[in-house]
Structure 1
């Protein structure tokens, strides 16, 4: 039996699926991953949250990197893999998608905001670290280009940061709670494009497996949980999941 056929049978047999996505689902949309052979972190070191808060130079570098990637982020469109995930939600096979991604492409594929559980936040907008006021990226870019830095929050003067979870920053409680809920309810846990090395998020597939769910990992590189999985597929997500679900 082919991998696609095996995956199709497992999807059909599952009453409820937990879908967990990482950077690999978005590479076909032109967004580079972080830990692959040519990933972002092979070219630069991540900036720690405490450095962003304490050091103006670290803040400027953080924003420079974000604006350097702006053209790529704005040009990216959902690919066949995102559309396949959206189809599974429309069919009622899954109730939400748990994602490590910060690109907003699941929402762009038609999945409502309340069905996207963003463990690492979202880089398509920014928010104040003090009062939570939301800020548009393009307004901040205009200010950065003119002044060399992003100004304080218009509401309270606090530090403004992309609405992402940086290294050293606490994980968001509500998304983690919802991800745990989806994990415990799953009969099938689909990992799509995650290296499964970033914890605590990477612990969800193992929890699901211990609870009796079947585990499928679609990722081009090996992961620490491959030996635990019922099915490991090394093809691209767009091809494998798109083919298994009949998504164009």
Structure 2
């Protein structure tokens, strides 16, 4: 089993390390790093306001594609840090100006896309819905990605931590339902970036179990769990077999749950 936290998640995923050993009896645990999916961005109508005039100038989905391409281009950030990604993926998507396909977790943790092999290793994701580090890209204005303002809709308001929770929660549910490799997801709301290395969010803080694959389904009470117990159950199914975990903090407006 390979465990990765925060920036190390990106190293494992973007380097496609596990895809080189498709027959290996292994599993991957990702903690404290994920990206909002393309479909969730578009369905929630997230825009950017470059000139701070209160009107969105471009949808964030398109802008993020451009930003990622620039980071991989000569003279870009990824060249500066000598980064690399799977050459098969790059050969297909760089000519199409879609290097986001080789960089974003919510895309790469899927089965074959456009003839490009992606990671099929059974994967468990732990992500805090109030992560103070990752959420900064959506709640700090101007934000760390260089855009002046992220907003809900072309004429909407600046995105908040509550907005981020909605976006990330929908992304994690989508990953669990649509991505065969993601067979376990737990998303507390403790405001704690790292979970595997911190005893309270890992072994003490409980997360309610809510089965909300379909909108409006009631939460299942009495089955709260910790990250430790959820991960243990997931591994004991058989090295990361399909286990209906999906424990996501169900109440986006209430106080922090179990933290």
Using the size of structure 2 for normalisation, the TM-score is 0.25
Structure 1 or 2: more helix by fraction = 1
Q: Which has the higher contact order (CA 8 A, sep 6+)?
A: 1
